[in-house]
Amino acid sequence: MSLRLGDPAPNFKAQTTEGEIDFYEFLGNGWGVLFSHPADYTPVCTTELGRTALLKEEFAKRNVKVLAVSVDPLDKHFGWRNDINETQNCTVEFPIIADEGREVATLYDMIHPNASATATVRSLFVIGPDKTIKLMITYPASTGRNFHEVLRVIDSLQLTSKHSLATPADWQPGEDAIVVPSISTEDAMKKFPKGVKVVKPYLRYTPTPDENN
């Protein structure tokens, strides 16, 4: 099954390093990141899970829960987790799914046969509180992900889910955002009290609203 942005995120039950979980129950009313890695005891994946563990507080303050998935068995996950903690100077506390039967990998189309017939590619999904897919990124097995970019996109998604805004190229939190075309300039002036800068009728900037607005 091929998933697209806006599709419902498939629910599943799975065994993980933190016990059995129901995906929807695990996410609760918050956001989620589900990402796959090709195999345990591989160098790039080790750095990725370590980086995710080190960013624990960054994910938490955005109300984001993280899960990793691999087609390797649970006992292998436990041993590898020890190596990650040792080599990356971290403590991995998020669940690592043991997907030996490839149920989750199939639900989320994580196996690309032309890349590998058995291993999952580096797929990453951001799931919103409404349990729909907000972002999909797929990297080849040879390239580690940029988790600061993942956080940046989550910041954009959370901002634009609350306001009639979009974010420009290379946007960072706190920088000006773009007023969406569906809002007239007159309405935008009322909606965004910090002001609206009109560059072109279709290109209008406004300072990022305060969190409590």
Residue 118 confidence (pLDDT): 47
pLDDT at 12: 95
- Tokens of residue 160, six digits: 């634009």
Name all domains of the chain by residue range, CATH numbers in brackets. Answer: 13-144 (3.40.30.10), 163-206 (3.30.1020.10)
Q: Which long-range contacts (CB under 8 A, 24 or more apart) does 168-172 make?
A: 168/205
Least confident of 67-76, 80-89, 111-120, 145-154: 111-120
Q: Output the pLDDT for position 105.
A: 84
Instruction: Give the pLDDT confidence score for residue 2 in this predicted structure.
Output: 80
Mean pLDDT across the chain: 91
Token pair 């300039």: residue: 185
- DSSP of 148-175: HHHHHHHHHHHHHHHSSEE--TT--TTS
Q: Report pLDDT digits (tens) over 156-177.
A: 999 999 999 999 999 999 999 9
Instruction: Express each pLDDT in 6-17 by its tens digit.
Output: 999 999 999 999
- Using alpha carbons, select from 93, 77, 88 the residue that is nearest to residue 51: 88
* Distance set, CA 78 to CA 19, 56, 97, 193 (Å): 12, 19, 11, 52
Q: Which amino acid does the sequence have at 54?
A: L
CA–CA dist 59, 33 (Å, integer): 9
- pLDDT (mean) for 112-118: 47
Q: Which of 32-36, 122-126, 204-208 has the lowest mean pLDDT?
A: 122-126
Q: Please report which confidence band the pLDDT of residue 212 belongs to, taking 50, 70 and 90 as the band edges.
A: low
Single-letter residue type at 204? R
Q: Look at phi and psi of residue 19 and say left if phi exceeds 0, alpha if psi is from -120 to 50, else beta.
A: left
Residues forming the active site: 45
% of the chain with per-residue pLDDT over 90 = 76
Strands 177-179 and 197-200: unpaired
Question: Is 213 a residue whose pLDDT tops 80?
Answer: no
In this predicted structure, the answer to whether residue 115 has a pLDDT above a threshold of 50 is no
Confidence of residue 113 (pLDDT cuts 50, 70, 90): very low
